Amino acid sequence: MIPVLMMSLCALTVRAGQYTHADTLRGSNGSGRNWWDVTRYQLDVKFDTAAQSIAGSNQIFFRVTAQPGDSMQIDLQQPMMLDSVYVMSSSRTSGGVRKAAIVQEGNVWWVKYPFNTLKQDSLYSLLAFYHGTPRKAVNPPWDGGFSWKTDSLGRQWIAVSCQGLGASVWWPCKDAQWDEPEDGMINSFTVPLPLTCISNGRRVGNTQTDGNTTTTWVVRNPINNYDVTFYIGHYATWQDTLNGEKGVLDLDYAVLDYNRDKAKAHFGVVKTMLRAFEYWFGPYPFYEDGYKLVESPYLGMEHQSGIAYGNKFRMGYKGTDRSMTSHGLKWDYIIIHESGHEWFGNNVTAKDMADNWIHEGITCYSEVLFTEYTAGKENAAAYSRGLWAHIRNDQPVVAPYGVNDEGTGDIYEKGEAVMHMIRVMTNNDDKFRKMLRGLGREFYHKTVTTAEVEQYIAKTTGLELGAFFNQYLREKDVPELEYYIKNKELNFRFTNVVPGFSLPLTATGGDKKAAVKVNGDWAKVAWDGGYDVNFSKDFLIKLKK
């Protein structure tokens, strides 16, 4: 998602420590979830654009992975209503079909059925029919839901954004980041003519009946629930290809029809961006589904194989440079940042929202790497440091687990700083690049924990990073470097650091330069560089003379 310069509702919840039973149901792998694994979704939705309501069904294909309990947890948020549920074998046409009882508990629906009779390691499916008026987005994409908008000609323009809020705001599912449908999904969306609907993956069908168009899209790769999306409007489309690391990658573009000409020129950066990210991160993770960039009525989102674009064909972030260095005005922030999520967020996904710095921090660093690819390493480092002005140090980067909370906005820029400092400490760009590409390869189409990512980075860089990660991810304060000069000696130490923490810094003053390893204990080096001392600028620390 896109960083926003305000306190999120999630952050307020963390500070207050007020988690509810509903938070736990949504954020934990409880008894209604821990015995089954989603293998595929088949979503079928009809849009009543006049009434701003929807109705449809979702067939949830699942594998029994442990001894089932007596109920299954299906998430569907109020005011949406689950009408009926049927349990069957893995297809609609074979095996028995039995209607199950359903009981609502807030945003959770408990499906009551003798699940304990299902065979472990076998495949079954659940067909859920539902309807309702979905929550309207308040400030999309941050405070999301449905955006029922109109374009500049007064025509309907509709989309959804739901990261954090959850996909269950508009369709019934297992609303958890750790359980992606490994066999992908099929989306069939019916809208009134002359509107068209665009979704994730590849279009495989388009029929018109009774004044409506039904378009079917197939996603062949695992997909995060919050990435499942649609765009409804008067779209013009065109196609292109990229000769990438895994062969020919199909590129599709869709914008409001009157924006086609300027969009074709503005979107020219996409090929350069994809080449840059394939260089740094490895092959685009979803060749089977293609890459798609779609104009949306809100700023943007990383919808897998269907990136939402709403930056109005401007450079930077809504025409501004978040790094305040001028480098961020040389490319379109939404195209670069949201596409970077295809590697981190969509390909490599955090199991728990508490670890979403893996999505946002590494994707923020993708902006730095794109800057380096197009403008050089020095300019990229300046861009990186410029982002640090947004860091608040209000909470630890890693949020509490099991309560559906990603915590502080520092998952963006502080997470980015973590990656930048690791690169500086690695001091070997080839090794660092291999580590980045290795993350995408090791955790390809997987969900991961912060601990797994930490261990992989430490192993591949050869750095001792345990205390480093504890300091920057699990403590809210950054290290404060105290120093003074006495008797031609420079004395220094860190305060506010965890045991074992240290950084390899360089102190400079006049013609003097000294390498110093700073930890929580006082240390000193001979010094004749005067009283104006500077320390390495590529580390996120505070200075106290």
Domains, the chain, with CATH or none: 340-474 (1.10.390.10), 480-544 (2.60.40)
Q: pLDDT tens across 285-317, in order?
A: 999 999 999 999 999 999 999 999 999 999 999
DSSP 8-class letter at 18? -
Report the distance separating Cα 36 and Cα 263, nearest Å.
44
Residue 531 has pLDDT above 90, yes or no: no
- Run of H or E including 432: helix 429-442
Report the pLDDT averaged over residues 7-35. 74
Report the distance separating Cα 196 and Cα 237, nearest Å.
11
Total residue count of the chain as it appears in this document: 545
Q: What's the Cα-to-Cα distance from 42 to each of 117, 129, 173, 332, rounded to whole Å? A: 24, 12, 11, 34
**What pLDDT sits at residue 15?**
43
Report the pLDDT averaged over residues 347-365. 98
Report the pLDDT averaged over residues 531-545. 93
pLDDT band at residue 17, thresholds of 50, 70 and 90? low
96 vs 279, residue with greater confidence: 279
**What pLDDT sits at residue 334?**
98
- Triad 373, 315, 256: Cα angle to 5°: 115
For tokens 């949020």, what's the residue? Answer: 399
Residue 8 has pLDDT above 50, yes or no: no
* Residue spans of beta strands (DSSP E) within 145-272: 145-150, 156-161, 185-192, 196-199, 202-209, 212-219, 230-233, 235-244, 247-256
102 DSSP β-pair partners = 111
Q: pLDDT tens across 390-434, in order?
A: 999 999 999 999 999 999 999 999 999 999 999 999 999 999 999
Report the distance separating Cα 455 and Cα 538, nearest Å.
23
The interaxial angle of helices 357-375 and 410-426, nearest 10 deg, is 60
Q: What's the Cα-to-Cα distance from 454 to each of 95, 174, 543, rounded to whole Å? A: 46, 28, 27
Q: pLDDT tens across 53-79, in order?
A: 999 999 999 999 999 988 999 999 999
| Ramachandran area for residue 167 (φ above 0: left; ψ -120 to 50: alpha; else beta) | alpha
Report the distance separating Cα 185 and Cα 73, nearest Å.
20
pLDDT band at residue 5, thresholds of 50, 70 and 90? low
Residues near 326 by Cβ (< 8 Å), separated by ≥ 6?
Answer: none
Report the distance separating Cα 480 and Cα 494, nearest Å.
5
Q: In this structure, are residues 406 and 353 in contact, taking their beta carbons and an 8 Å threshold?
A: yes
